[in-house]
Structure 1
């Protein structure tokens, strides 16, 4: 990693809890060493009338030391000690906020909302991992993207930690990454052409064609099903998105489609 610029350092100090002028003054003192207020103002870009107040506040926090005299000099306390203090305070504040927010939560029966839209890879992965953590009997997945499956490794590990061997169907033209994929669970492969060829002959084939079509705007990349009760459909539309469904008959149908093609592998 390259050297951080002064602005990068200031931004990180602000993120840790210092105000902008405090971050500028402290960073400047670390770099230039003991200095007079006038020099600090010049080097930091903080207006001179504000420098004394900022130095006073940093001294109160224990981040700056003062040598009284004519003129008065200021120096920064060791950055390792200051950053450790800021880090500990940041973590403590975060923990306190969590406790406070939870304590204010009202006990209520949440409105039953059966469908949720998920935006972005982080959100999708987080929800899939939670889904696997709630599995009681089985955790089933289907993918049209082999590499995408590896991104959900933690979800499969969550299922395994509950004594469940994930069932994974790959709908693909190739079996690359097979050695890595086998680590995720019990793996099956079926060519996409086998699903899309010809006219559908029964209900399951019709549903599968609709589900795994590559001609739609929303291209399905993966599907996760927990205990035939809840599912998350992962699709591509300007980025990774998801559709979480708790209407039981939909996960049941999705699970039956996968089972239909598992019997054909």
Structure 2
């Protein structure tokens, strides 16, 4: 597992297991939960809940069937989503700070 890369994803808000699964799926392409577990060593009891959470965040796609297969979204798509989420959060924080009276008008020069 590429620990430096998973560490960078954690800095962007991924949990450790999400980062391992995302990087693992990039390497595997499509994989079942069992294959992901075997490749990433994410504890088996955590695999399904983590995959479900990642699917809701749109970090991975679920390919139906029995068993279900999973694949990661491409890195460009992921980074675009993360960028948009960060900018939205940053703008919302700025609005709240300004409405709370912490805007530039209250600074002393």
> What TM-score comes out, normalization by structure 2 length?
0.81
Secondary structure (helix, strand or coil) at the match of 2:66 reads coil
Which deviations, in whole Å up to 9, do the C-alpha atoms of 1:82-111 show, x marking residues without a partner?
11111121122122222212322369x88x
The 2-side partners of 1:7 and 1:105 are apart by 43
Write out aligned runs for 1:205-244 (5 A): none
Aligned length, in residue pairs? 107
Distance 1:106 1:75, change over 3 A: closer
Match of 1:47 in 2: 43
Partner SS for 1:70 = coil
Which residue number corresponds to residue 84 of structure 1? 80
CA distance in 2, matches of 1:87, 1:30: 20
Deviates more, 1:96-105 or 1:52-61: 96-105
1:36 aligns with 2:36: no
User: Relative to structure 2, which stretch is displaced further, 73-82 or 13-22?
Assistant: 13-22
* Greater relative contact order, per chain length (Cα 8 Å cut-off, separation 6+): 2
User: Greater share of strand residues, 1 or 2?
Assistant: 1
Kindly name which structure, 1 or 2, has the bigger radius of gyration based on alpha carbons. Answer: 1
Q: TM-score, normalised by structure 1?
A: 0.36
The runs of 5 or more residues in structure 2 that have no matched partner are none
Aligned to 1:73: 69
- Taking only aligned residues, the RMSD between alpha carbons, in angstroms, comes to 2.5
SS at match of 1:40: helix
Runs of 4 or more above 4 Å deviation:
none
Residue deviations 1:164-222 (CA, integer Å, cap 9, x gap): xxxxxxxxxxxxxxxxxxxxxxxxxxxxxxxxxxxxxxxxxxxxxxxxxxxxxxxxxxx
Corresponding residue SS for 2:89: helix
8 Å CA contact 1:24–1:46 kept in 2: the answer is yes
Quickly say closer, same or farther: Cα 1:106–1:58, change in 2 above 3 A: closer
The structure 2 residue matched to 1:10, chosen from 6, 10, 34, is: 6
1:3-50 residue CA offsets vs partner (Å, 9 max, x unmatched): xx8222112222222222212111110111111101111222211111
